[in-house]
Amino acid sequence: MSMPESHAMVSGALLPPPRPPWRGWRWIGWTAAVLAAMAGVALAIEWPFLHGEAQLATAYGARIGCSCHYIGGRAIGDCHKDFEPGMGLVSLSLDDSTRTVTARMVPLASDSATFVPGQGCVPAAWK
């Protein structure tokens, strides 16, 4: 009896050819693709909410940072203490030439507030 080279005979039983080692791992690729697609859909659904929350956090952060630095006289790095819980991703930057504090939550939103004598810290959209 002639047998193909890819088959083997063990104790009189014909065994199928061995599977390539990568074939058993194919499900990992499909699982990763499905999870990535689900994450993309979830992000698309939640984007308006996330973007709105980021805009709110940066507007609040800019106003609080401006008041803390220009009215309270504190260092800009110390102003994070005045933030609400959950605002850890908001970063502050300072422009002393224009008396402006900018709050950023990269890559979602950015906002600024400028100190105007007699008016206090004015958000950028209200100037």
| pLDDT tens-digit series, residues 60-77 | 999 999 999 999 999 998
The pLDDT confidence band at residue 6, using thresholds 50, 70 and 90, is low
CA distance 63 to 68: 8
104 inside domain:
yes
Please, are residues 81 and 94 in contact by the beta-carbon 8 Å criterion? no
Residue pLDDT, tens place only, 93-121: 999 999 999 999 988 889 999 999 999 99
What was the pLDDT predicted at 84? 87
Residue 16 predicted with pLDDT over 90: no
Cβ neighbourhood burial of 90 (10 Å; 0-12, 13-18, 19+): buried
What was the pLDDT predicted at 111? 93
- The tokens for 105 are 């939550």
Residue 51 neighbours by CB distance under 10 Å: 13
Max CA pair span of the chain: 103
Which range marks the domain in which residue 54 is found?
A: 33-126
In the chain, how many domains are there? 1
Nearest-CA neighbor of 54 among 93, 81, 88, 80? 88
What was the pLDDT predicted at 35? 93
80 inside domain:
yes
CA distance 55 to 44: 17
4 inside domain:
no
Number of H helices, E strands in the chain: 1, 6
Residue pLDDT, tens place only, 29-45: 888 889 999 999 988 88
Q: Which residues contact 116 (CB under 8 A, 6 or more apart)?
A: 99, 122
15 inside domain:
no
Average pLDDT value for residue range 19-23: 63
Q: Rounded to an integer, what is the distance from CA 82 to the centroid of its chain?
A: 23
Name the pTM for this structure.
0.65
107 inside domain:
yes
19 inside domain:
no
